[in-house]
Amino acid sequence: GNDTFEGNDKVVSLDTNNGPANGTVSVNPDGSVTYTPNDNFHGTDSFTYIVTSGGVSESTTVNVDVTPVNDAPVATNDNAVTDEDTPVTIDVLPNDTDIDGDKLSIDSASVPSDQGKVEIIDGKLVFTPAENFHGDAEITYTITDGSLTDQATVNVTVNAVNDTPVVESSIADQTLAEDFTPYSINLNTAFSDVDNADGELTFSVSGNSNIQVAIVNGIATFTPTADWNGSEALTFTATDPSGESVSQTMNFTVAPVADIVADNATVVEDTPTIIKVLGNDTFEGDDKVVSLDT
């Protein structure tokens, strides 16, 4: 554009011995040249081109000033491991890069709510698994150099840990009369374990010296001991396959009743007769009162 020639038969070529150090140059059909800088290069460069016209060749140098532009940072995927119900801090920035040397920071982060939650604390990710979640969680995070951004993921392996069974509902205290009809409660609804389906808990009872308790498939059946009354504290324990257990206690009271036996008596007509009706009856305590069924 700023060169002059004699005639119209000019030919532009490149001086291959003095090409650009940090880019490439090509000659266009109209005699112009295109300079392409190498990736991410900025600074000064130069190249020499030759013009031949009318059998005369001349060369000149082109100085190129490549001005810098901001390059986006590059975020790289990460991996982390933690245990169920245990938060983990993840430093994701060390393997993320910025060719311009800009300082990087975490702009945002997210994770599906059923997997847990993620926070940005002191320039790091803090992942807290959802309660009792185990498996693979995927965090998506975005880094920034202050202007441009890039995105990557963190795959977090959450190892399962055994959870102790818990008391789901309290077993109510019971008071029944002596020689009561057998009575049952469902221990499967009184205890639960998030790690185990119904039927994987085993149950036991202690503290029953006089009350008979049989447990079958989680159903506890109480059977009385003949003529016994009193109170016992019964402790039921639920145990999971890993041996973790939880217990709860109920008070089982058996109230006394009078055991009255029918009587027979022979009396003389028109003669009052004392009949000892209590002689064949049994009572708990000494505060018995005799009355007539009118």
CATH of the domain at 86: 2.60.40.10
Residue 281 lies in a domain: no
What are the tokens at 81? 């491991």
Name which residue leads in pLDDT, 283 or 222: 222
Q: Say whether pTM exceeds 0.85.
A: no
The DSSP code for 259 is: B
Per residue in 103-129, pLDDT tens?
999 999 999 999 999 999 999 999 999
Per residue in 231-251, pLDDT tens?
999 999 999 999 999 999 999
Residue 172 lies in a domain: yes
pLDDT-derived band at 266, boundaries 50, 70, 90: confident
pLDDT-derived band at 161, boundaries 50, 70, 90: very high
Cα–Cα distances (Å) from 123 to 109, 142, 252, in that order, read 12, 12, 59
Domain of 89 in residue numbering reads as: 78-159
Q: Please count the structural domains in the chain.
A: 3
194 shares a domain with 151: no
Measured over the CA atoms of residue 227, residue 233, residue 238 and residue 239, the dihedral's sign is: negative
Residue 136 lies in a domain: yes
Per residue in 65-83, pLDDT tens?
999 889 999 999 999 999 9
* DSSP states of 271-291: ------TTTT-B-SSS-----
* Residue after which a domain boundary falls, among 24, 43, 66: 66
Distance CA 260, CA 155 (A): 77
Distance CA 291, CA 294 (A): 9
Residue 6 lies in a domain: no
